Amino acid sequence: MRGRRQYLILRGQRRRLRELTSVTDRTRAIAPGAILLFATLRNEENRLPWFLAHYRRLGVTQFLIVANNCTDGSEALLRDQPDVSLWRSTASYKASRFGMDWMNGLLARYGHGHWCLTVDADELLIYPHWETRPLPALTDWLDAQEIPALGTMMLDLYPEGPLGEMPSRPGQDPLETIPWFDSGNYTLKRQSKLGNLWIQGGPRARAFFSPAPHRAPTLGKVPLVRWHWRYAYVSSTHTLLPRHLNDRAATTGGEDISGLLLHTKFLSTIVEKSREEAIRGEHFENSSLYNGYYTALSSAPQLQTKHSMRYQGWRGLEALGLMSRGGWL
């Protein structure tokens, strides 16, 4: 494990230097104790205004973002933000381990000693009391409890009707158009190798992977970490090394604090994006396994069922057992 971690750190540093071109560098403005956000994205002009506003509201003070082969207005929008450092890459997203080499390189260079969020543009972090207690309050409490990371589950949100039917405006709260989620049908187990929680289920599992549920996307992530340059993400933010950082959620109740990543994948842009990604083949290690998935998404299915629930705030999610306050009351 130590050798693998060292390899991932070195690989990240090399790809940062070789594959990233600085567009705007505001890293000198990073203050001691600042909470940093790291992300790789492509063509997210629609999501970015709300994404930035959400995380600024939470207390993120600096964004470090890689724009990969963007063909829309994402780069121009990000370039003009006073708290964004932006890099451009034309290299393969898939060959960079789906952007994680770039993230590991930037985290090692700029994240050491900071609480760092590493998320996708379609992921919005929430946690107990998030509307009234910003991230510095949470990270101060985590520091006091000597908890080095926050575990989360991705919660897929979807619309009432067929995918792509209800348009979303740039800067619009995604919950206005995709407020529905699955409250159950989740399975979880502890992986012995890295100690992470392997969570599957939700609308993607039931709608697209029911013949082979073991191939459904895994939903457990560890996006918020007090970073050290010796750390490295292994597979997206699902797992990282050292392995003790993955042990962030209980399997038998609500003993440990946990959050959720509201997954806004199913905004109205999903149908066209799915058709494009099916051609590009950049998002999965074995893309052939997901051909049926992309074909189904491209047909604009309806994910809502009579068992779907509408988002009503974090307390409702806690009552369902999807997140926990742990000892943070």
**Structural domain count, the chain:** 1
Residue 240 covered by a domain: yes
What is the model's pLDDT at position 276? Answer: 72
Residue that wins the pLDDT comparison between 28 and 270: 28
Instruction: Return the minimum-mean-pLDDT range out of 40-44, 156-160, 228-232, 297-301.
Output: 297-301
* Cα separation values, 197 from 12, 146, 200, 244, Å: 25, 20, 10, 12
* Whether residue 273 has pLDDT greater than 80: no
Residue 96 covered by a domain: yes
Structure tokens at 128: 């107990």
CA–CA separation, 81 and 24 (whole Å): 9
* Whether residue 12 has pLDDT greater than 60: yes
pLDDT band at 251 (very low <50, low <70, confident <90, very high): low
pLDDT band at 177 (very low <50, low <70, confident <90, very high): very high
Contact, 203 vs 305, CB < 8 A? no
Structural domain range at position 151: 2-319
pLDDT band at 305 (very low <50, low <70, confident <90, very high): very high
Contact, 33 vs 226, CB < 8 A? no
What is the model's pLDDT at position 184? Answer: 87
Average pLDDT over residues 293-316: 90
What is the model's pLDDT at position 79? Answer: 97
Cis peptide bond prior to 174, omega within 30° of 0? no
Query: Amino acid identity, residue 328?
Result: W
List pLDDT tens digits, range 85-112: 999 999 999 999 999 999 999 999 999 9
Residue 15 covered by a domain: yes
pLDDT band at 142 (very low <50, low <70, confident <90, very high): very high
Residue 142 covered by a domain: yes
On average, the pLDDT of the chain sits at 92
What is the model's pLDDT at position 211? Answer: 84
Interaxial angle between packed helices 291-298 and 270-280, expressed in degrees from 0 to 180 and rounded to the nearest 10: 150
CA–CA separation, 104 and 21 (whole Å): 16
CA–CA separation, 204 and 188 (whole Å): 15
Average pLDDT over residues 7-26: 97
* Whether residue 285 has pLDDT greater than 60: no
Please name the residue that has the structure tokens 């399975």. 187
* Whether residue 312 has pLDDT greater than 80: yes
Residue 198 covered by a domain: yes
Please name the residue that has the structure tokens 């940062």. 16
Residue 327 covered by a domain: no
pLDDT band at 314 (very low <50, low <70, confident <90, very high): very high
Please name the residue that has the structure tokens 């929680």. 197
pTM: 0.94
What is the model's pLDDT at position 162? Answer: 93
Residue 92 covered by a domain: yes
pLDDT band at 7 (very low <50, low <70, confident <90, very high): very high
List pLDDT tens digits, range 210-220: 888 888 999 99
* Whether residue 39 has pLDDT greater than 60: yes
